[in-house]
Structure 1
Amino acid sequence: MRRASDARTAIARRTLLGLLAAPLASRAGAAAWPDRPVRLLHGFAPGGTADIIARLLAGPVGDALGQPVVVEPRPGAGGNIASAALARAPADGNTLGLLTGGHAVSAAFAQGLTFDPVVDFDFVAMVARYAFVIVVRQDSPLRDLAGLLALARERPGRVTFGSAGVGSTHHLVGEMLNAAAGVQMLHVPYRGDAAGTTALLGGEVTAMVTTSAGVLPHVRAGTLRCLAVSSVRRSALLPDVPTVAEAALPGFEAPTWVGIAAPRGLPPEVIARLHAVVAQVTAAPPMRQRLVELLDGEADGASPEAMRAFVASEIARWRDLIQRQGIRPE
């Protein structure tokens, strides 16, 4: 009996020592991180905006971490293929993801997701926020956003707006304009911003919801005219263009965003270090200037907690719009 009791005591002692050692091992592992190259996934095609931003960040973030950051595009399903892969990856800090505003839009439609868009991720750091613009051809008789919305009231369903595709953030910003103004502009989807801009130049649609950086060359060439920007503040690249709130709809705000996330369960020390590194990189003047040039956006150093709350609020906002407007993703 005594031998059995001694054996049980020894097992209990080893178990207790193991439990006490676990946090120490976790902290030691976090301190050693990263000990190999870090993958940065994103869900869009190579050469696109998300890919450019990911590669722009990869160099300085890798330098700060002491390991290369390798960008891996996983295009498809509006970014959901990459998000699903990120959610399934080990929560060790060696796999990160670049998320965009499309993450919240896909979550709002909530069709065929194999992951929870909030619960399955640790949100690490916001990178930037940027706006959309409403543009028309330079020879259009529409001179301002108020004029476009007035025409839409006069001709329900006959005034059209193009976007980068059904279920894109661009599409939902156009539908948000419809809802806020009480009009019925008809959505015409295209395969990306470039195709939509070509269609607008060809006179296929009345207006286009797109990114300012994408149409800036046409604006400067005098072939397109910007009516308004969707952000709360005016564009750095188009300072003479009013916001939607200034032009016609007080309180309107619909920016989009880019940020860094990881699989849920990342050690707190790793999250803290990653956030500090990304915030420092995006706050550097050269990077801030590049974000303006690429996105017409501004750096955003929001905390992981603030980013989580923001993404959840964006999902709720788009879900409400989708339900009210009866929008279908296909």
Structure 2
Amino acid sequence: MKSNFRLLATCLLTLGCAVIVVPGMAAGSYPDHPIRLIVTSAPGSGLDLVARAIGPDLGAALKQSIVVENKAGAAGIPGTRDIVASKADGYTLGLVSSNHAINPSAHVSLPYDTIKDITPVTIIGTVPVVLTVPKSSPFRTLRDLLAAAKAKPGAINFGSSGPGSALDIAGLMLEKKAHIKLMHIPYRGGNALTTDLMSGQVQTAFLAISTAEAQIKAGTIRALAVSTLERLPSLPNVPTLNESGVAGYHYVPWIGLIGPAGLPASITKLLQAKVHQVIGLKKVKAQFAVQGFNPSGTSPQEFLTTLKSEMASTQELMGNPGLARNDGQARTDARANKQAAR
């Protein structure tokens, strides 16, 4: 039977016909050459560190090299555009963050469809965020902060790594669930935000645990609450927002692996299995622990469900597309006016 199939294929090729492989068929020899992994953020970012942590072992598991390529800027949109424009053969994949779910609400238009133009493979893991204040802050607990914010709406400023960023969404969710209003101060990234928070120029901000933990333990900033439903093992004395008076608060940004739309099911399943194998390795877990990154390993369907759910909740928080960008500019202007008045 096999010899007859080979003979038929040879005859078809000789006649100039194409042998069509139907999506969903066995992956065959995949992968038989290096895989390009597009990281939709800059070198040294949390996304990049995850890629570097899993890359070597994922390559070993697939018996091929993983070539990491950073495509940073614009909340991951340029990198995602390159991923979705690639051939759906498993040789171009990408790492995206929670920004992928936020972008439809933060931008008037995107050069791709957030759901239809991708194949979700797996959420690799999550990064809890921590609500923090400077060490000089009069707020000792989250309840102190909430009481002050309710007494004088808009008087307390709140920093984030940019309009429509995961840290901005964390703040918007706090405003909504706690029924308070803060003055948003957006930054172009997390480094400047952390610096201004430590110096007291920013009164409060959510920070990724990977950024916050060292500063909290060094005493340069104070943690009021964590965004998870349960306390973090690394910060056991820091309560959750949920137990500190903000009922139902739960927001944990994620990092996931995607491919272009139409990625064959056999390849998707193989990639999911190999990623799960790699994130279970002791040495990879140790690297993740340093970053405060919690391995997850969802199924493609679970990833899709999470993506759709977060798109809907973000839309509810931010309103019409483009609102975050316009609001961010207004908030930036407000900060400039405040500084000029000093």
Normalised TM-score (structure 2): 0.86
Aligned match of 2:319 in 305, 323, 326?
Answer: 323
Distance in 2 between residues matched to 1:285 and 1:316, nearest whole Å: 36
Residue in structure 1 matched with residue 300 of structure 2 by the alignment: 304
Distance in 2 between residues matched to 1:224 and 1:35, nearest whole Å: 50
Provide Cα deviations, 1:120-149, integer angstroms capped at 9, x if missing partner. Answer: 111111110121111111221111111111
Give the 3 Å change call, closer, same or farther, for CA 88–249 of structure 1 in structure 2.
Answer: same
**Given that residues 135 and 198 in structure 2 are in contact (C-alpha distance below 8 angstroms), is that contact kept between their aligned partners in structure 1?**
no
Give the 3 Å change call, closer, same or farther, for CA 23–156 of structure 1 in structure 2.
Answer: same
- Asked if residue 233 in structure 1 is aligned to residue 233 in structure 2, the reply is no
Distance in 2 between residues matched to 1:109 and 1:222, nearest whole Å: 34
Q: Which amino acid aligns with 1:302?
A: T
Distance in 1 between residues matched to 2:22 and 2:89, nearest whole Å: 16
Distance in 2 between residues matched to 1:301 and 1:61, nearest whole Å: 14
**Given that residues 231 and 238 in structure 2 are in contact (C-alpha distance below 8 angstroms), is that contact kept between their aligned partners in structure 1?**
yes
Give the 3 Å change call, closer, same or farther, for CA 327–151 of structure 1 in structure 2.
Answer: farther
Residue in structure 1 matched with residue 81 of structure 2 by the alignment: 84
Residue in structure 1 matched with residue 61 of structure 2 by the alignment: 64
Distance in 2 between residues matched to 1:233 and 1:101, nearest whole Å: 20
**SS of equivalent residue, structure 1 residue 187:** strand
**Given that residues 128 and 291 in structure 1 are in contact (C-alpha distance below 8 angstroms), is that contact kept between their aligned partners in structure 2?**
no
Give the 3 Å change call, closer, same or farther, for CA 109–144 of structure 1 in structure 2.
Answer: same
1:286 positional shift: 2.4
Identity of aligned residues (%): 34
- Asked if residue 143 in structure 1 is aligned to residue 179 in structure 2, the reply is no
Aligned match of 1:37 in 34, 39, 42?
Answer: 34
**Given that residues 43 and 80 in structure 1 are in contact (C-alpha distance below 8 angstroms), is that contact kept between their aligned partners in structure 2?**
yes
- Asked if residue 194 in structure 1 is aligned to residue 188 in structure 2, the reply is no
1:285 positional shift: 2.6
Provide Cα deviations, 1:30-57, integer angstroms capped at 9, x if missing partner. Answer: 2111111100002111121111111111
1:25 positional shift: 9.6
Q: For 1:1-330, what aligned pairs fall within 5 Å after superposition?
A: 22-23=20-21, 27=25, 30-294=27-291, 296-323=292-319, 327-330=323-326
Residue in structure 2 matched with residue 11 of structure 1 by the alignment: none
**SS of equivalent residue, structure 1 residue 97:** strand
Runs of 5+ in structure 1 lacking a partner? 1-13
Give the 3 Å change call, closer, same or farther, for CA 152–109 of structure 1 in structure 2.
Answer: same
Distance in 2 between residues matched to 1:24 and 1:157, nearest whole Å: 58
Distance in 1 between residues matched to 2:288 and 2:101, nearest whole Å: 21
Greater shift after overlay, 317-326 or 118-127?
317-326
Distance in 2 between residues matched to 1:149 and 1:241, nearest whole Å: 16
Distance in 1 between residues matched to 2:127 and 2:43, nearest whole Å: 21
Q: Where does structure 1 differ by over 3 angstroms across 4 or more consecutive aligned residues?
A: 21-28, 324-327
Give the 3 Å change call, closer, same or farther, for CA 212–72 of structure 1 in structure 2.
Answer: same
Give the 3 Å change call, closer, same or farther, for CA 32–323 of structure 1 in structure 2.
Answer: same
Distance in 2 between residues matched to 1:325 and 1:116, nearest whole Å: 14
Greater shift after overlay, 242-251 or 104-113?
104-113
Runs of 5+ in structure 2 lacking a partner? 1-11, 327-342
Distance in 2 between residues matched to 1:165 and 1:104, nearest whole Å: 15
1:216 positional shift: 1.8
Distance in 2 between residues matched to 1:160 and 1:230, nearest whole Å: 19
Distance in 2 between residues matched to 1:278 and 1:169, nearest whole Å: 24
Number of matched residues?
312
Distance in 2 between residues matched to 1:231 and 1:327, nearest whole Å: 27
**Given that residues 157 and 184 in structure 2 are in contact (C-alpha distance below 8 angstroms), is that contact kept between their aligned partners in structure 1?**
yes
Q: Which amino acid aligns with 1:91?
A: A
